[in-house]
Amino acid sequence: NTDLIKMDIENGKLKHLIGNLELFTDDFLTKVNSFVRDEITDKEDEVYKELLNIISDSIGDVYEQEWIDEIEKEGERRFAEAIPPGFDDENKDGTRKYNGISYHQKYGDLIIWKDILKKATEQPRGDKVIFITNDGESNKKSDLIYKTSNMKVGPSIFLMNELYMCSRKKLYILNNTTLVNMITELTEDEIDRIEAQEEKKYVVTFPKWILDKAEKD
């Protein structure tokens, strides 16, 4: 009986110790995640504000309703044949309106993509297009990023071919975090070289060393 009592006491101490350890672990992880989240958010906000400053006077032309309508008609065929982008959004309902123009939400990705193709074709300089989006992050979506075994391989082959056929340009798709990480890792020399390009009024492009980093990621 004495041994049983001692065992109960030891088990009680162990459970108490484990309980305290779990509370400490949960609190520690909460603080770590909060710190990491705040750090990333601060960097993203800083880069986002700088990006807005850079593109503030580089806003594209206003869409025409007729152009939107033509894309949506094409979208019906593309979705039926599972041609990216956007077919994973086929079940989205509703429309959105802005500045007198309306569009169906399920065709939003396709409208953006068609605008990219249009701009890439009209711009003779440069041989690369970088598309910044988080839309391909979900494992449920496969219409932008080619994935295998939940591993991201790169942009959809169809999108790469479509862009290259109409503009002879290569496609890169980066998410926001990758963009922020690459920019914050730039050296002073790299920043000076980018600013030198801007002063010469070159087309705004990502230098080769940034693209090399994108390919590695």
pLDDT grade, residue 51 (50/70/90)?
confident
d(C-alpha 128, C-alpha 195), whole Å: 19
Would you say residue 207 has pLDDT above 60? no
pLDDT for 40: 66
pLDDT the model gives residue 47 = 73
211 pLDDT more than 70 = no
The span from the CA of 76 to the CA of 31, in Å, is 48
Q: Output the DSSP codes for 15-79.
A: HHHHHHHHHHHHHHHHHHHHHHHHHHHHHHHHHHHHHHHHHTT---PPPPHHHHHHHHHHHHHHH
Among the listed residues 168, 141, 166, the one whose alpha carbon sits nearest the alpha carbon of residue 156: 141
Share of the chain above pLDDT 70, in %: 73
Place of tokens 């065992």: 7
Mean pLDDT of 142-157: 81
The tens digit of pLDDT for each residue in 4-18 reads 555 555 666 667 777
pLDDT band at 20 (very low <50, low <70, confident <90, very high): confident
pLDDT in the model for residue 139: 67
- Which residues does residue 46 pair with via DSSP β-bridges, in sequence order? none
Q: What pLDDT does residue 77 have?
A: 93
What pLDDT shows up at residue 61? 76
Task: Report, as an integer, the average pLDDT of 64-79.
Answer: 94
Mind listing the pLDDT tens digit for each residue in 76-115?
Answer: 999 999 999 988 888 888 898 888 899 999 999 999 999 9
Whether 185 has a pLDDT exceeding 80, the answer reads no
